[in-house]
Amino acid sequence: MSDTIFTKIINGEIPADIIYEDDLCLAFRDINPQAPVHVLIIPKKPLPTLNNAVSADQELLGHLMLVANRVAVKEGVADAFRLVLNNGAGAGQEVFHIHFHLLAGRSFTWPPG
């Protein structure tokens, strides 16, 4: 399978506004923000969807959520943010490399569209 755009960002082949990085993951600003704060948190491991995750990924997936909260604190939005993972094309997934959307800085409705 060819690399997704996120693998290219991880490899430094295309630029991104990276605001957090560690051995396991990366967080960068979404190129088409849907809220004043819109950050993507991705694992460096190229898991296409949550369906591809296995028990060995448990720590990694938990780490992504803790990093999301760390980013929210850093961005000053820890009191109110939405964390979204679109799993599968039918749910709106366009890039097949697992990612959390961290959205904040405006009010949100429920259910989401």
Interface with ligand AMP in residues 51-110 (CB under 6 A): 86, 92-95
Nearest approach, Cβ of residue 76 and ligand AMP (Å): 21
Nearest approach, Cβ of residue 31 and ligand AMP (Å): 4
Diameter of the chain by CA atoms?
39
Nearest to 44 by CA among 74, 75, 1, 10: 10
The answer to whether 63 is a known catalytic residue is no
How many residues are given for the chain?
Answer: 113
Nearest to 22 by CA among 45, 3, 48, 55: 45
Binding-site member from 5, 19, 50, 83 for ligand AMP (CB under 6 A): 5
Binding site for ligand AMP (CB under 6 A): 5, 16, 30-32, 40, 86, 92-95
